[in-house]
């Protein structure tokens, strides 16, 4: 495993080679170049070489699957460095995934000779976004130490907003608003730029205001969500031209991987930077654009020439990966798409085996058949690492896992439930985060009552109320409230202990190693004990995961460094070494290749996924087809497509038709296995497949319920008891009255009733209540009467 620097210091080119010519001050890279002629260029074909050597001005490289895209990118970087045209810190190289970034780093340093530790600006859009943002945080209303929210936090925050705005969360789910905000951020839209029509799609037009409110809360919490990492960056560049200029000057060369996956915000960001030097090289393949649902704009790649005038376009069409039949099948399939830039992949290699197509009775048989095939391959001496099963949706994996377990076949799931997204990991990191940053309300809320400490809904509500009235973080509010008798003794003690524990841990940050501290925290908080006491089967593995987390932390220098990594890099390194079958979704397969690829689940409704068809119609269908194309082109030597006639979806059996994509495969490259006396699949099926478009969604109970709700919303319903409005007025009244609560003032308290102020100590009041007697309370909770 690679040792990761916690704080990637912006290393200048590390002078780790012996000084050969001490009198000269040439960049090291240039000296290296002198000794070692550019033999790396000889390994390229003419188009690739052209792409590497066309250094001036904008360049679009259309790189089909398996045409050496990564090689071009890495060699290009190496070339720039070798010629001494830029130092590592002057090259911006963005990728889409952390995996791609890792690989690129590795391969560049191999080319250069293992000396480039610092390519500080090679990373994902998000990682680079954070880096820029941390330096100029104040300019966008954040502190440099801002935290990055994960999806859980985001939802929790939005739920609170909806509650405060008195919006029925049943009718307008928080996740829905979260998705909308995400979409806007992907498109580079700040709240005031959100179109009216879209604002009306949520809570009768409140969407825009809620978005604005959400952004304000984020600033208050000193936090940014994933979308902000780009959007705020964009805002920074737009509102502060001087800052932008610095970066424009810095980046003399820019490279973008997977350009077809960039969204509008990323595109705008890039274009701003490219105004400095137009040495932009974008590499992509419109036929592999599979993230449209996430805001990726294929248009970005289709429009490149207009966006960057004078752009050069180079097509890489020589495929070095797949055999003739596989390539033929994939090309024939993707040719059914309209609106593509058009590439014709060809290979000089052998034809190889045809693509196999087989039908199965159900998903269990599918798993059985593929399992048998894999065992067969294994007997023939193939390694399992070179075998992959690529599914459309993750629920398909289950049948395979079950089967492989009974067969005793080793497998690994790639991109499955991510390590850092597991409950226990999130809980643990929440503890660490609050220790580092007590103002992180969302993380604090996550763990106040985990493990159970008797700090439930009621306590939390009081805390919130006070925090809001005071405008302080929850932990601060907790500090205040435990001084009073606001809470029941049990809760008060418990909360005081928790706050005390965090203070204690915080004091230890510099005193001990961060891994020790982490263990201490998990121990003293009772979190480990909670799982140890848990007798459920998964408790054991959760404990293992926690251990793994600590082990992983050891790779970082500090706790803070580790936390930065956690929020950004949501993937743990997949263990290599053992021989295992690879199981993953088509999406996470992009960029990988295997000798043998199994493609199960080519059913109508699953591979052209129903939802995709429903939501985005033809463009959705085309994206699904690209997905199928990506799947096929992962295979070097063997590809086998299967479909199941019956699939159990939500406990219900459903009959499925073979995917229309199967029909679209050119017959010359396909071999149909007619083994099990199965009803063949004929062209007549296509007609029925079309009907799937119009399939019955509108008579489901869900839709009818939605209709009913809508009607209810129109009719003014009887005013219901409304705790939050009460809270609102109460807060308003108390803050207004707060200053003038002198001794003797008659007040009202929600819990204790009427009373008179007996003593004032800052914001703490001692009150003689008519019923409850003498109590200490916080002034925010009382109302002057």
Partner DNA sequence: AACTAATACTTTTTT
Partner DNA sequence: AGTATTAGTT
Q: Does 489 interact with DNA (rule: CB under 7 A)?
A: no
> Binding residue for DNA (CB under 7 A) from 82, 124, 277, 545?
124
257 counts as catalytic: yes
Strands across the sheet containing 59-63: 122-124, 91-95, 253-256, 280-284, 59-63, 312-316
Radius of gyration of the chain measured on its C-alpha atoms: 30
**Matching residue, tokens 């377990």:** 405
Task: Please identify, among the stretches 211-219, 336-344, 611-619, 758-766, the one whose residues bind DNA according to the rule CB under 7 A.
Answer: 611-619
- Structural tokens at position 557: 């220098």
Our CB check for DNA shows the closer of 182 and 209 to be: 182
Query: In this chain, which stretch among 276-284, 499-507, 649-657, 725-733 interacts with DNA, using CB under 7 A?
Result: 649-657
Residues forming beta bridges with residue 671, ordered by sequence position: 356
393 near DNA, rule: CB under 7 A:
yes
The residues near 39 (Cβ < 8 Å, ≥ 6 apart) are: none
User: Residue 224: beta bridge partners?
Assistant: 148
Number of shown-chain residues binding DNA (CB under 7 A): 44
State the CB neighbour count (10 A cutoff) for residue 357: 22
Residue 413 or 632: which CB sits closer to DNA?
413
Q: How far is CA 162 from the centre of its chain?
A: 24
Binding-site member from 394, 745, 763, 766 for DNA (CB under 7 A): 394
**Is residue 418 a contact residue for DNA (CB under 7 A)?**
yes
Q: Would you call 717 exposed, middle or buried from its count of C-beta atoms within 10 A (0-12, 13-18, 19+)?
A: exposed
Is-catalytic flag, 445? no
Stretch that binds DNA, among 90-98, 193-201, 425-433, 518-526 (CB under 7 A): 90-98
634 is catalytic: yes
Residue 100 gets which letter from DSSP? H
Q: How would you classify residue 356: left for phi > 0, otherwise alpha for psi between -120 and 50, otherwise beta?
A: beta
C-alpha angle 668/671/675, rounded to 5°?
Answer: 155
Is residue 615 near DNA by the rule CB under 7 A? Answer: yes
**Do the strands 91-95 and 253-256 form a parallel or antiparallel pair, or are they unpaired?**
parallel
Which is the catalytic residue, given 47, 48, 67, 69?
69
User: Is there a catalytic annotation at residue 636?
Assistant: no
Applying CB under 7 A, does 679 fall inside the site for DNA?
no
Show the site string, 290-309: x = touches DNA by CB under 7 A, - = not: x--xx---------------
- Per CB under 7 A, the list member of 585, 596, 659, 780 interacting with DNA is 585
Q: Any bridge partners for residue 132, and if so which?
A: none
Site string for DNA, 347-376 (x = CB under 7 A): ------------------------------
E strand or H helix that includes residue 567: helix 559-568
CB of 696 to DNA, least distance (A): 15
Contact between 750 and DNA per CB under 7 A: no
The 8-class DSSP code of residue 278 comes to -
Pick from 145, 383, 649, 707 the residue near DNA by CB under 7 A: 649
**Does residue 650 bind DNA (CB under 7 A)?**
yes
Task: Name residues contacting DNA, limited to 200-239 (CB under 7 A).
Answer: 226
**Cβ atoms 644, 678 nearer than 8 A:** no
By beta-carbon proximity to DNA, the closer residue of 278 and 614 is: 614
Residue 544 annotated in active site: no
Q: Looking at 415, 526, 666, 738, which residue binds DNA (CB under 7 A)?
A: 415
Nearest approach, Cβ of residue 15 and DNA (Å):
32
| DSSP annotation of 760 | E
Residue 43 Cβ, how far from DNA at the closest point, in Å?
Answer: 30
Tokens of 781: 């909770």
Q: How many beta carbons lie within 10 A of that of residue 699, not counting itself?
A: 7
Is 402 a residue that touches DNA (CB under 7 A)? no
Q: 547 an active-site residue?
A: no
Cα–Cα distance for residue pair 432/520, rounded to 1 Å: 11
As a 3-state breakdown, the chain gives helix, strand, coil percent values, each rounded to 5, of 50, 15, 35
CA separation for the pair 485, 242 (Å, rounded): 53
97 binds DNA (CB under 7 A): yes
Contact residue for DNA among 20, 458, 507, 512 (CB under 7 A):
458
Can you give the binding site for DNA, defined by CB under 7 A?
Answer: 96-98, 124-127, 151, 169-170, 182, 226, 290, 293-294, 392-395, 415, 418, 449, 452-459, 491, 570-571, 585, 587-588, 609, 611-612, 615, 649-651, 702
**What residues act catalytically?**
69-70, 257-258, 288, 634
């Amino acid at each position: 495993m690679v040792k990761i620097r916690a704080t990637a210091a912006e290393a200048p080119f590390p002078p780790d080679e012996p000084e050969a010519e001490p009198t000269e001050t040439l960049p090291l890279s240039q000296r290296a170049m002198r000794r070692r002629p550019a033999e790396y260029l000889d390994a390229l074909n003419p188009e690739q070489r052209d792409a590497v050597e066309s250094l001036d001005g904008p360049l679009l490289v259309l790189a089909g699957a398996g045409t050496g895209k990564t090689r071009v990118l890495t060699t290009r970087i190496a070339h720039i460095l070798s010629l001494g045209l830029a130092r590592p810190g002057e090259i911006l190289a963005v990728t889409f995934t952390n995996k791609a970034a890792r690989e690129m780093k590795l391969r560049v340093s191999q080319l250069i000779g293992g000396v480039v530790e610092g390519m500080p600006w090679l990373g994902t859009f998000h990682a680079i976004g954070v880096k820029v943002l941390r330096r100029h945080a104040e300019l966008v209303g954040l502190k440099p130490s801002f935290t990055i929210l994960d999806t859980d936090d985001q939802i929790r925050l939005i739920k609170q907003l909806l509650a405060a705005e008195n919006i029925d969360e049943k009718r307008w789910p928080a996740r829905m608003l979260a998705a909308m905000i995400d979409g806007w951020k992907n498109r580079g839209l700040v709240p005031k730029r959100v179109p009216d029509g879209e604002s009306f799609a949520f809570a009768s037009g409140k969407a825009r205001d809620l978005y604005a409110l959400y952004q304000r809360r984020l600033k208050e919490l000193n936090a940014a969500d994933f979308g902000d990492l780009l959007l705020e960056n964009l805002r920074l560049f737009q509102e502060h031209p001087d800052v932008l200029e610095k970066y424009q000057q810095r980046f003399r060369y820019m490279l973008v991987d997977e350009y077809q996956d960039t969204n509008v915000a990323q595109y705008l960001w890039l274009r701003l930077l490219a105004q400095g030097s137009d040495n932009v090289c974008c590499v992509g393949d419109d036929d592999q654009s599979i993230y449209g649902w996430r805001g990726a704009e294929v248009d970005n790649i289709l429009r490149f020439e207009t966006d960057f005038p004078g752009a050069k376009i180079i097509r890489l069409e020589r495929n070095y990966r797949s055999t003739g039949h596989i390539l033929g099948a994939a090309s024939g399939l993707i040719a059914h798409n309209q609106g593509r830039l058009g590439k014709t992949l060809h290979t000089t290699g052998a034809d190889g085996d045809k693509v196999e197509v087989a039908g199965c009775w159900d998903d269990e048989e599918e798993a059985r058949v593929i399992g048998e095939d894999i065992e067969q391959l294994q007997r023939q001496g193939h390694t399992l690492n070179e075998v992959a099963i690529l599914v459309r949706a993750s629920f398909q994996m289950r049948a395979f896992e079950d089967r492989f377990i009974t067969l005793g076949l080793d497998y690994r799931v790639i991109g499955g439930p991510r390590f850092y997204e597991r409950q226990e990991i999130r809980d643990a990191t929440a503890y660490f985060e609050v220790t580092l940053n007590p103002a992180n309300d969302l993380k604090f809320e996550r763990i106040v009552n985990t493990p159970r400490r008797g700090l439930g809904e009621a306590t939390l509500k009081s805390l919130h109320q006070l925090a809001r009235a005071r405008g302080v973080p929850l932990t601060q509010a907790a500090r205040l409230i435990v001084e009073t008798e606001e809470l029941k003794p049990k809760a008060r003690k418990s909360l005081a202990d928790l706050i005390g524990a965090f203070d204690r841990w915080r004091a230890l940050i510099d005193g001990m190693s961060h891994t020790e501290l982490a263990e201490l925290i998990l121990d003293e908080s009772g979190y480990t004990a909670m799982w140890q006491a848990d007798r459920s089967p998964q408790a054991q593995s959760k404990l293992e995961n926690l251990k793994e987390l600590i082990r992983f932390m050891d790779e970082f220098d500090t706790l803070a460094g580790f936390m930065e990594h956690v929020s950004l890099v949501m993937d743990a390194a997949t263990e290599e070494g053992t021989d295992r079958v690879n199981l993953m979704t088509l999406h996470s397969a992009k960029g990988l290749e295997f000798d043998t690829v199994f493609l199960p689940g080519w059913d109508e409704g699953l591979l052209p996924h129903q939802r995709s068809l429903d939501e985005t119609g033809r463009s959705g269908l085309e994206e699904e087809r690209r997905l199928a194309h990506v799947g096929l082109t992962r295979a070097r030597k063997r590809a086998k497509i299967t479909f199941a006639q019956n699939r159990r979806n939500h406990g219900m059996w459903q009959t499925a038709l073979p995917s229309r994509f199967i029909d679209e495969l050119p017959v010359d490259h396909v071999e149909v296995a007619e083994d099990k006396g199965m009803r063949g699949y004929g062209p007549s099926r296509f007609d029925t497949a079309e009907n799937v478009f119009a399939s019955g969604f509108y008579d489901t109970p869900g839709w009818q319920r939605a209709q009913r709700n809508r009607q209810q919303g129109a009719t003014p319903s009887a005013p219901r008891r409304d705790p939050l409005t009460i809270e609102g007025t109460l807060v308003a009244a108390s803050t207004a009255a707060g200053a003038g609560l002198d001794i003797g003032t008659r007040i009202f308290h929600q819990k204790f009733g009427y009373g008179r102020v007996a003593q004032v100590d800052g914001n703490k009041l001692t009150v003689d209540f008519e019923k409850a007697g003498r109590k200490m309370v916080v002034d925010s909770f009382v109302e002057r009467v």
